[in-house]
Structure 1
Amino acid sequence: MVSLFCRRLALALGLVILASSLTFALIASAPGNAANFLAERAAGPKATHALVEKIEHDLGLNDPLYVRYGHWAVGTVRGQWGESLRTGRPITKELAERLPTTMRLLAGGGVIALVMPLILGLLGAVSNGGPVDRTLRVLALFGASAPNFFVGAMLVLLLSVKLHWLPAFGTTGFASWVMPWITVGLFPTCVLSRVVRVSLQELMSRPFTTTGFAKGYGRTEVLLREALPNLAVPFLTTFGAQFALMIIGAIVVESVFAWQGIGAFFIDSIRFRDFPAMQAVLMTFVTFFVLVNFVVDMLCMAIDPRIRRSHIAGA
C-alpha cells in the first residue's frame, strides 16, 4: 500500500508540473503586454516607450520562456506569486482572503452532490420503472442540461424576487449560501443520480443480490444491504471527477451571486489582463483538481482490495 501511495503521489506531482508548464505557456502566449498596462497605469497617456522597456526588463519579460517559467516555478514552490497587476497587492494574500469563500461554496455543493444522488438513485431503483423513477429521470436530464447561470438566475427570480425567502446576493449568513450551493451542486447531483440508478440496476442482476432475495429480503432491503455497498467505488470515482469540476462552476456562480471568491478574482484578472494573477489562479485550480482525484484514488484502493491487487500485479 505504501509503494502504491508513493507511485500515485509521484504521478500526481508529475501531472501538476506538466499542467503548470502548459498553463504558463498558454498565459505567456496570450495577446497583450503587461508592461504596457503597468506603464499606462503609472504614467497614463504620457507613458513612453522607454518606460515600457524598463518595466519589461524589471519583470524579466524579455527573458526566454523557459527562464521565465523557471523563475515562476521557484516562486510557486515558495508560495510567492508576485503582485497583482490590477490591485498591486501580493497575489498570495489575495487568494488567501478569497479562498474561504470558494471553499465554503464547494463544501456546500459537495455535500449536496454526495448525499442527494444516493437518495434519488435509491428512490428510482425502488420504484424500478414506476412513476417516481420516470419523473426522476426527466428531472435529472433537465438538471444536467441547464447551465449554472440559468439555474442561478431562475432561483433568484423565484426565491428572492417572487417569494422573498432568500437574499439574492452576498455572504451575510446561511440563508445567502443556500441558492449558490444548490446552483453549483445541481449538475453533479443530476449526473451522479443517474450513475447510482444505472449502477444499482446492474448490481441487482448479480448473483449476490439473487442470494439476498433467496434469504427472504424485499427489494428495498436487497438494495440497501447487498447492492449499495458494492456501489462505493464507481460512485466515489464519479463523485471525485464531478467535485473537481465544480471549481469551474464556482467561477460562474460567484459572479451570479456576487461572492468575492477565487472565481470572481479570476474573472477580474481576465478583464484587466492581470497575467500573474491568472497564472496563480489556474495553478490553484489544477492543484485542486489533481488533489481531489488523488484522494479519491487512494480511497478506492483502501475500500476495494481488488484494485490494490490489480495495481500490484501490473507494477
Structure 2
Amino acid sequence: MGQFIVGRILSGIVVIFGISILSFLLIHFIPGDPVRIMLGQNATPDQIERLTVYLGLDQPLLVQYGHYISNVLQGDLGTSLKTGQPVLTEILDRFPQTVKLAAAGISFAIVIGFTVGTLAAKFKDTFIDRMAMGFAMLGVSIPGFWLAILLIMVFSVKLGWFPIAEGTGLRDLVLPSITLGVLASTIISRLTRNGMVEVLSKDYIRTARAKGLDERVIIVRHALRNVLLPIVTVIGLQIAGLLGGTVILEQVFNWPGLGTLAIGAISSRDFPLIQGTVLFMGIVYVSINILVDISYGMIDPRVDLSMKEES
C-alpha cells in the first residue's frame, strides 16, 4: 500500500505541475496586450511599461515561468492588482467559506442519496422505487442556478423563512446547501440503488436473512458496505468540485467563497489572482482524488491497491 500511495502522490505532483503551466500561460493566451487589458484603454505608456516590468512580461517565457514556479514553491502566488494583498491571503480568506458550504452540501447529499437509493433498492419495481428514481432523474435535469433561484423565490421572498444573501451564518447556509445537496444526491442515489439491487440478490444476503438477522443490520453492515467503492469515488469527485468553488451558486446566493473570488478577479482583470485561484483549485482537486484512492483499502480490505496501480 505504501508503494501505491507514493505512486499516487508522484502522479499527482505531475498533474499539479501541468496545472501550474496552464495557469501560468493564462496571461499569454489572451489576444492582444494583457497589460493594456488590465490597465484599460486610458493607460499611459509609463503605466504600461511599469506593469510589464512588474509582472516580468519583458523577459523570455521560460525565465518568466522559472520565476513563477519558484515563487509558487515558496507559497507566493503573486499580488492582487486590485487589492494589493497577496493572492494566497485572498484565497485563504475565502476558502473556509467554500469548505463550510461544500461540507453542508455534501452532508445533505450523502444522507438523502443513501436513503433514497436504499429505499429504491429495498422496494425494487414498486411505486417507491419509481418515485425515488423519478426524483433522481429530476435532480439531474434541473439546472443548479434555476433551482437556487426557485428556492430563493419560495423560501426567502414568499415565505420569508431565510435571508437573501445577507451573510454566512447557519440560516444563510440552508438554501445553498440544499441546492448543492439535491444536485449531488441524485447521482449518489442512482449508484446506491443500482449497487444495492445487485448485492441484495446475493447468496450471502439470503443466508443472513435465513439466520434471522435484523434487516437494518443486513442492509448497513452486509449490503451497503459492498457498494461503497464506486459511490466513494463519485462523492470524492463532488467534494473536490465543491471545494474548487461553486461559481454559479456562490454568485446566486452571494456566498463569499472561491467561486465569487474567481468571478471578481475575472471582472476586474486581476490576472495574478486568476492564476492563483486556478492553481489552488487544481491542487485541491488533485489532493482530494489522491485521498479517495487511498481510502479504497480502508473501506474494503479486499481491494488490492497494488493491482489497482498496475491497471
TM-score relative to the length of structure 2: 0.91
Correspondence 1:192 to 2:188: yes
**Inter-CA distance 7–51: structure 2 relative to 1 (3 Å threshold):** same
For 1:78-116, what per-residue CA distance to the aligned partner results, in whole angstroms no more than 9, with x for missing partners?
A: 111121122222212211221111111111112112222
Deviations 1:264-309 (A, max 9, x none): 0100111122111111111111111111111111111223233335
Measured in 2, the distance between the counterparts of 1:313 and 1:39 equals: 49
> 1:2 and 2:2 equivalent?
yes
Aligned to 2:256: 260
Q: Aligned partners of 1:102, 1:138: CA distance in 2, in Å? A: 30
Distance 1:21 1:152 in 2: 35
Q: Does 1:149 align with 2:154?
A: no
Q: What's the Cα RMSD here?
A: 2.3
Seen in structure 2, the aligned counterparts of structure 1 residues 156 and 35 have a Cα distance that, compared at 3 Å, is same
> Does residue 164 of the first structure (1) align with residue 164 of the second (2)?
no
The gaps in structure 1 that reach 5 residues or longer are none
2:15 corresponds in structure 1 to 15
Q: 2-side partners of 1:19 and 1:208: how far apart?
A: 46
**Alpha carbons of 1:57 and 1:310: their partners in 2 closer, same or farther (altered >3 Å)?**
closer
Where do residues 19-168 of structure 1 align in structure 2 (5 Å cutoff)? 19-37=19-37, 39-40=39-40, 45=42, 47-168=43-164
Matched ranges for 1:283-294 at <5 A: 283-294=279-290
Corresponding residue of 2:270: 274
Unaligned 5+ segments in structure 2 are: none
- Percent identity, please: 33
Alpha-carbon distance change, 32 to 260 in structure 1, aligned in 2, over 3 angstroms: farther
**Amino acid paired to 1:185:** G
List structure 1 runs of 4+ shifted beyond 6 angstroms. none
Deviation per CA, 1:109-140, whole angstroms, max 9, x where unpaired?
Answer: 12112222111111111221211111111111
Residues in 2 aligned to 1:59 and 1:34: alpha-carbon distance in whole angstroms: 11
Please tell me whether the aligned partners of residues 126 and 220 of structure 1 are also in contact (alpha carbons under 8 angstroms).
no
Inter-partner Cα distance in structure 1 for 2:245 and 2:206: 41
Letter in 2 for 1:99: F
Letter in 1 for 2:35: A
Q: Is the 8 A contact 1:126 1:219 kept in 2?
A: no
Q: 1:307 to 1:269 in 2, by over 3 A?
A: same
Is 2:78–2:86's contact at 8 Å kept on the other side of the alignment? Answer: yes
Secondary structure, counterpart of 1:55 in structure 2: helix
Number of residue-to-residue matches in the alignment: 311
Is the alpha carbon distance of 1:134 and 1:249 closer, same or farther for their aligned partners in structure 2, counting shifts above 3 Å?
A: farther
